[in-house]
Structure 1
Amino acid sequence: MRAAHRAIVTETNKDHPIFWFWSYAQKPLFSQANVLKLAPGLTATTIQNWANRSIVNALIEMKEVRGRRYYDSIQVRRIVLGQRLIDDFDLHPAKAMLLIDYANLAVIDAWTDDAIAGAKTPDTKMPIKMEWIEQYWFVRAPEIKNSVAVKASGLAGAIKKLGASIVIPYGRDLTELAARAKKLYEDGRNED
């Protein structure tokens, strides 16, 4: 059984921004205007171009309501966190968003592996704490298959071992994005 299937969310975690954000993984909830608020520096034209070229929605069908596009939290994560890689490392948008997907998978695997490390049997389900995710960094190795997610305490060793070319404080960035997205959504609902 994979680690992610052995980790459980407790009631106390359900208010955490990460839990909220992931619960909208395939529910188009964010208008283009919302995405622009979460990704300062981006333009509507850029987001439209990425969507038209299937860079943003490579795996997910775009939802349109009355001719307006709506994005789910997976697409928002790709756009907002990918934009930083485009700006900081001059990556092509498709590569930046793919790297964000790799980072997401690596961090979730490391996070859940650590959460179940204390289990007495291989089938034991263990509670997971959402705030733990903030500790994880993604270290991209020259060969993507060798990339890893590590806690900050292991960061220097991983960089030295892998000769990393890109290091992302992914857990912190994702938590911050989730908190801003949740607040934006809740503020918008309160205005209705």
Structure 2
Amino acid sequence: MPLHVPPAPAPALRSVLAALGSPTAVREPRTPALRSHQGPLTPELPLPVHVLDEITGGGRPPRTRLTGWRFLIRSADRAVAAADTVLTPDGWTFSHFFEGPYLSSTERALRHAEAMPAAYQPRLLSIPALYMLTLWLHGDPTADATAGSPDPSDVLVPLAPAPPGIAAHRPCTVADLLPVLSLRLQPVPAAPLLGQPA
């Protein structure tokens, strides 16, 4: 089934287009592919970026919040970089371009998601405490992409590089993956000092 990519806010797209036209923004040190690229560049596949703030437990959905929109920057048939936008008091604005492993990993996960039998709305879910990013396939393709929390039947696809013990590119339902993430996010009890009773 095709993915139902939500439309990004128009100001977010305009800010990325303006940055692509800015020699200063395109020549940042962290994006050698943009600096050396010849030919037109196009922002595509806008994905809302949500951050997992807390796994609440007790059958309640995890708490997430929208932090930005990410665009894949394409040249011909492949993504050469990505652009992030953030919400400021003045509205959506360009944040930065970047490259790295999450770029190709996101493309790969999106290709696999297109081949799944169900229709999904793609989003990104960041879990900063684990240095983890997932493709979040929301089961309601018509939902407001800027709101909501992962439903138990939604699918999360950990992107590479994934944390140790979590398989990259292996789709899992939220109901299956959240308990694993919850264990990883629990604080480790402090070891007793030598000479003190345990």
Structure with greater strand share of residues: 2
Q: Which has the higher contact order (CA 8 A, sep 6+)?
A: 1
Rg larger for: 2
Structure with greater helix share of residues: 1
Q: TM-score range by the shorter chain?
A: 0.3 to 0.5
Q: What's the TM-score, normalizing by structure 2?
A: 0.33
Q: What's the TM-score, normalizing by structure 1?
A: 0.34
